[in-house]
């Protein structure tokens, strides 16, 4: 039975406790997410370096081989994944620990033990904020149409797609002077 609104997206769960990893996997999968699992930061980096894209990463902090802090630092140094939303999970629940975690430029910090439904709500909230920011960065607030940068990216993608399939296309560009006065 699905909890909350229907969701989609891909989440990488990095947790060394196999049982907790499965609980998180089932909670997110039940809500419509595609979930990949890693037992530690090293395994997570390997998955990411294989070219997998994730809409969100949920990671424990205290893990063998590579901590969540080390994983986060590696991801921030990577152009490919620096902007991927990130949530820390941790049994470290003092205010100092939470401040240290949030200072790592993560989107949320969830303390263990937690209710799976609360984690799901936090995941959905982080992804919704990201969706709103992405939309605002790509659209003109007056018209709701793609802005110049997004339009140029879309044109480039369309031209590449047409070239790959040896197809023809047509583009119309309309420019209205003094549009804001209308």
Q: Report the 3 state secondary structure along 3-48.
A: CCCCCCEEEEEECCCHHHHHHHHHHHHHCCEEEEEECCHHHHHHHH
Show me where the domains of the chain are located.
9-137, 140-181
Claim: this prediction has a pTM higher than 0.85: no
Per-residue pLDDT tens over the stretch 124-158? 999 999 998 888 888 888 788 888 888 888 888 88
Taking each helix axis from N to C end, the angle separating 116-138 and 148-164, rounded to the nearest 10 degrees, works out to: 90
- What is 9-137's CATH number? 3.40.50.2300
Mean pLDDT of the chain: 89
Structure-token pair, residue 14 = 């990095």
């Amino acid at each position: 039975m699905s909890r909350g609104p229907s969701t989609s997206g891909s989440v990488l769960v990095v947790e060394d406790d196999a049982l907790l990893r499965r609980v998180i996997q089932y909670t997110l999968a039940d809500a419509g997410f595609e979930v990949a699992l890693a037992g530690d930061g090293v395994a997570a980096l390997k998955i990411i370096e294989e070219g997998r894209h994730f809409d969100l990463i949920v990671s424990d902090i205290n893990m063998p081989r590579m901590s969540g802090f080390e994983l986060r630092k590696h991801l921030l140094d990577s152009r490919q994944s620096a902007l991927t939303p990130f949530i820390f999970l941790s049994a470290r629940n003092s205010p100092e620990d939470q401040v240290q975690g949030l200072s790592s430029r993560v989107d949320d910090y969830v303390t263990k033990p937690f209710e799976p439904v609360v984690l799901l709500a936090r995941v959905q909230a982080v992804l919704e904020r990201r969706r709103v920011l992405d939309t605002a960065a790509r659209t003109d607030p007056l018209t709701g149409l793609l802005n110049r940068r997004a339009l140029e990216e879309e044109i480039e993608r369309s031209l590449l797609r047409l070239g790959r399939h040896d197809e023809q296309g047509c583009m119309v560009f309309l420019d209205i002077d003094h549009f804001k006065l209308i």
